[in-house]
C-alpha cells in the first residue's frame, strides 16, 4: 500500500493527527501581522492559552519548534555563573543537556539509563548544597515513553530557590503538569503534541519569578522581547501566521473538550494500550511504574525488527507508529495516543498487531488485546 | 466595511497574497517528519530551490522568520575578532546592525538617511583598508521602498576577501539578485515576499566559501547542523511541516512562471505604480533612482495622514496597503507589488486613490493614474 496521508491511522509520538477544523484554519488568505485583525487573533490566543497550561501566567508564542522554545528558555534563564543541574534519561534529556551547556558554564548532570527513573535522591542531595541556580528536566521523555516524576522533585527545587525549567513539549495537554502546585518557573510546550496543532510553534509559560530573572537570550528567540510585544498582541518579528491561525483553532477545540477531559481520555487510551500490550505478550520498554500516558514504548518481540513489525503495519494496514531513536532503532516501537487520538485508532492498531504477530505464531490468546481495549472504553 | 481577508485586495509589503493552491497545500494531514514521505517532499524542495535563487549552491531551510535567517547567518559567519562592515539606510538595516553587534565585537557602520542611497564610496574606502572580514547589507530596504545598489559594491567586496552577507528577504524573487556574478556568500530569503508563500520560513543560500567558514551559531538556527541534515532530506529539529508543504507548492508555481518572468512582471508592475503615483501628483519617498520594484513607498499628500488616506482605502474600498514604520508612521504609505500581485490589484488600488484624492480636490488630471497603468500593461 502506498502511503496516503489522508487515510493513514497516524499514531506517531508527534506531530499527532490534526483535526480538519485546525487544518482548514490555515487556509485563510494572507493577513497583515501588524494590523488590527491579526492583533485580535493574537489576543484570542492569549485568552485561550491558560486552557492549555491549566494555569494563568505569562506566556510566549515562538515561531519555531520545541527546540526553539528550549533554547529561548535556557539562553534567557540559565545562570551565567551559578550552577545548573540537568537530569536526563533519554534522547530529549540529551538535547536539554546539550543546550544547557551552551548557556551555562557550570552544569552538573545526573543521569539514568534510557527508560529508567531519574536519580531523584541524588538530585535532592545536589539541591541541598544550596548553590544550584537552575534545574532543567524533561517532564515527558518521548524517546523512551517515560514520564519523569517531577512532582516528587518539586519541593526540593522550591526549597533550594533554583529556577525550575521544564521541557514540557510532549507533556502539556498530555499528562498533568501542575505548574502552580509544583512551582514550575518555565514550561516549554510544543504545538504538535497534546494540543494537536501543526508542528512549528513553541509556547513557553513563565512564572513571575522567571520573568523577573530574564536576561538577553538569542535575538530571534529573546523571551523578554516576545513578552513585551505580546502585551500589545504583537510579535517582535514576523510570526508564522498560518500556524497562529491553527493554534487558535486547536485551543478552541481544547477548550471545548476541556483540559481535564483531554488528560483523562489520554490516560484512558494509555491504560488500554498498556493492557493490550500485556495481552499480546509484549513488554514495555521503560520502567512500567513511569510509563508515559502520551506515548507507549514497546520492545520489539525477539527476532522481529522494524522490517518485520512496524513497516508491515505501515505498508499492509496503513497504521503509522514510530520506531526507536538512536541505539533503540529497531529495538522498540512507539504508539502515540495523545492529542485527538481516539479509540478507533487503538482498535485498528492492535488489530493489525494481532494479525502480524498471529501470522508469526506469537499470539497466545487471540483477540485478548482488543478485548483489553474494549474493557477500558468509557 | 468590516475587514474580510477573503476578499481584500492585499498589497502590503509582505506577507503578500498567497495563491489558493499554496493555501490548500497546507491542509494535508500530519506527516511523520522523520519518514520517507516527508523526506521526499524535502528532496523536491531542494531540487526546486535553485529556481528561487537563480543559482545553485548550498541552501538551508529554517523554521523561523527572515530574522531567524539573519541571526543564523550572522551568528555563524561574522568574524569573532576581525572587522565587520554594516551598511544601513532603513529599518531593516537597523535590524541587521543590531544582530551584527551581538555576534561581532568590531563593527563599523556606515549609514545614509532613510530612503537615501548607501555611502558606497565610503564603504569602498573601508574595504580598501583590507581588514574587513564580513560585509552586511540589506539588498531591498522594504521600510523605505528602496533597492540598494549592491552590484556596484560587489567588486570591492570581492577584492577585499570579505564575506558578503546579504539580507535578501524582500529581494529574492522580487528584484534581480545575481548571486554568482556578484559573489554573494550568504543570501537570506523570506518565504512571504517574492516567493508568495506564507510567513514562517527563512531560506539561506550559502556559497562554498561561506560553508567552509561556518562556525557554531545559535543551537536552533545552527547552519552547519541544518546543512548536514538537509543532505539527507532531513532537518535537525522538528520542521514547521505545513510551511514546508506550502513552500513546495509556491516553488512549483514559481517554476511554472519562471523566475525571469516573475521579476519582469514585478518590474512592470513597479513601473506602472511609479507612473501612476506621478500621474496623481504624488511623490515617492526614496530617491527615485533607487526605487524598489517590490514595494513603492509614497509620501502622504500634505495634510493627509493614515486616517484620511490609508484607512479610507481599507475601510471603504477593501484595499490594504501598508503605512510607514517608526518615524515614517503617518508620513508615507507603501504598496507592495511582488509575488503574485497583478494588474487588477493595481487598478483597484489606484481607482480608490483617485477617488479619495479626487474627493479632496487633489487630482489634477482625473483618470491619468489608471491610464498610466493601462499603458504599461503587457
State which residues form the domain around B181.
Answer: 20-257
Looking at the fold, whether A245 and A363 belong to one and the same domain comes out as no
Region B60-87 average pLDDT:
97
Residue showing cell 506531530: A15
Instruction: Say yes or no for a CB contact (<8 Å) between B27 and A29.
Output: no
At A223-281, the pLDDT tens digits run 999 999 999 999 999 999 999 999 999 999 999 999 999 999 999 999 999 999 999 99
B241 touches chain A (CB under 8 A): yes
Chain B residues 298-337 with a CB less than 8 Å from chain A? 320, 322
What is the per-residue pLDDT across B359-370, written as a single tens digit (0 to 9) for each? 999 999 999 999
The answer to whether position B216 is within a domain reads yes
Chain A partners of B99 at a C-beta cutoff of 8 Å?
Answer: 219
For residue A136, is it within any domain? yes
Within-domain flag for A3: no
Last residue of a domain, one of A240, A257, A274: A257
- Of B235, B257, B279, at which residue does a domain stop? B257
Q: Which residues contact B250 (CB under 8 A, 6 or more apart)?
A: B18, B19, B22, B191, B195, B196, B197
Q: Which residues neighbour B1 within 8 Å (Cβ) at sequence distance 6 or greater?
A: B315, B316, B318
Please answer whether residues A286 and A274 qualify as being in contact, where contact means their C-beta atoms are separated by less than 8 angstroms: no
Cell numbers representing residue B206 in the block: 550559502
B321-373 pLDDT per residue, tens: 999 999 999 999 999 999 999 999 999 999 999 999 999 999 999 999 999 99
Q: State whether B252 and B262 are in the same domain.
A: no
Say whether residue A2 is in contact with chain B using an 8 A CB cutoff: no
Handedness of CA A58, A62, A66, A71 (dihedral sign): negative
Verify that A187 and A168 share a domain, yes or no: yes
* pLDDT, averaged across chain B: 97
Q: How far apart are CA A90 and CA B354, in angstroms?
A: 65
Q: Does residue B121 share a domain with residue B48? A: yes
Domain shared by B252 and B269, yes or no: no
Instruction: Assess if residue A236 is contained within a domain.
Output: yes
Same domain, A344 and A218: no
Half-sphere exposure of B244 (CA within 13 A, CB side): 30
Are residues A306 and A238 part of one domain? no
DSSP E strand boundaries for B144-224: 146-147, 163-167, 186-190, 202-206
Give per-residue pLDDT as tens, B123-169. Answer: 999 999 999 999 999 999 999 999 999 999 999 999 999 999 999 99
- Out of A237, A257, A277, pick the residue that ends a domain: A257
Regarding whether A282 and A224 lie in a shared domain, the answer is no
CA neighbor of B314 nearest in space, from B52, B5, B63 = B5
pTM of model > 0.95: yes
CA distance B83 to B81: 7
In a domain, B291, yes or no: yes
Question: Do A322 and A179 reside in the same domain of the chain?
Answer: no
Interface test with B, best of A14, A16, A65, A239 (most B CBs within 10 A): A65
CATH number at residue B197: 3.40.640.10
Clarify whether residues B245 and B315 are in a common domain.
Answer: no
**Is residue A2 included in any domain, yes or no?**
no
Residues of B in contact with A219 (CB under 8 A): 67, 71, 98-99, 102
Residue B151 in grid coordinates: 552590484
If one counts the domains in chain B, the total is 2
pLDDT at residue B81, as a whole number: 83
| Residues A240 and A282 occupy one common structural domain | no
10 Å CB burial of residue B165 (0-12, 13-18, 19+) is: buried
Kindly state whether residues A173 and A128 are assigned to the same domain: yes
Nearest CA in chain B to A201: B240
The Cα–Cα gap between A200 and A102 comes to: 23
Amino acid at each position: 500500500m502506498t502511503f496516503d496521508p489522508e487515510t493513514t491511522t497516524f499514531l506517531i509520538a508527534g506531530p499527532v493527527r490534526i483535526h480538519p477544523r485546525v487544518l482548514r484554519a490555515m487556509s485563510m488568505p494572507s493577513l497583515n501581522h501588524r494590523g488590527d485583525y491579526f492583533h485580535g487573533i493574537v489576543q484570542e490566543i492569549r485568552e485561550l492559552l491558560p486552557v492549555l497550561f491549566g494555569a494563568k501566567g505569562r506566556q510566549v508564542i515562538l515561531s519555531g519548534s520545541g527546540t526553539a522554545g528550549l533554547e529561548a528558555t535556557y539562553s534567557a534563564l540559565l545562570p551565567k555563573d551559578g550552577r545548573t543541574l540537568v537530569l536526563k534519561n533519554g534522547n530529549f534529556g540529551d538535547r536539554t543537556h546539550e543546550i544547557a551547556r551552551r548557556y551555562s558554564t557550570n552544569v552538573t548532570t545526573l543521569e539514568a539509563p534510557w527508560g529508567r527513573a531519574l536519580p531523584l535522591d541524588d538530585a535532592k542531595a545536589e539541591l541541598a548544597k544550596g548553590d544550584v541556580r537552575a534545574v532543567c528536566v524533561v517532564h515527558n521523555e518521548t524517546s523512551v515513553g517515560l514520564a519523569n516524576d517531577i512532582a516528587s522533585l518539586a519541593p526540593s527545587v522550591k526549597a533550594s530557590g533554583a529556577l525550575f525549567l521544564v521541557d514540557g513539549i510532549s507533556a502539556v495537554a498530555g499528562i498533568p503538569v501542575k505548574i502552580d502546585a509544583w512551582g514550575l518557573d518555565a514550561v516549554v510546550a510544543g504545538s504538535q503534541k497534546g494540543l494537536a496543532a501543526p508542528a512549528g510553534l513553541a509556547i513557553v509559560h513563565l512564572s513571575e519569578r522567571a520573568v523577573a530573572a530574564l536576561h538577553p537570550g538569542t535575538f530571534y528567540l529573546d523571551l523578554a522581547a516576545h513578552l513585551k510585544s505580546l502585551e500589545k498582541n504583537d510579535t517582535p518579528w514576523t510570526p508564522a501566521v498560518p500556524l497562529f491561525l491553527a493554534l487558535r483553532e486547536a485551543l478552541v477545540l481544547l477548550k471545548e473538550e476541556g483540559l481535564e477531559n483531554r488528560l483523562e481520555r489520554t490516560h484512558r487510551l494509555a491504560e488500554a494500550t498498556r493492557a493490550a500490550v500485556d495481552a499480546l505478550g509484549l513488554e514495555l520498554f521503560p520502567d512500567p511504574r513511569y510509563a508515559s500516558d502520551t506515548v507507549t514504548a514497546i520492545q520489539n518481540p525477539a527476532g522481529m525488527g522494524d522490517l518485520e513489525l512496524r513497516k508491515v503495519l505501515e505498508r499492509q494496514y496503513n497504521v503509522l507508529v514510530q520506531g526507536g531513536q538512536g541505539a533503540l532503532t529497531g529495538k522498540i516501537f512507539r504508539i502515540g495516543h495523545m492529542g485527538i487520538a481516539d479509540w478507533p485508532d487503538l482498535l485498528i492498531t492492535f488489530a493489525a498487531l494481532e494479525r502480524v504477530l498471529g501470522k508469526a505464531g506469537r499470539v497466545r490468546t487471540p483477540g485478548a488485546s482488543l478485548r483489553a481495549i474494549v474493557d477500558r472504553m468509557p
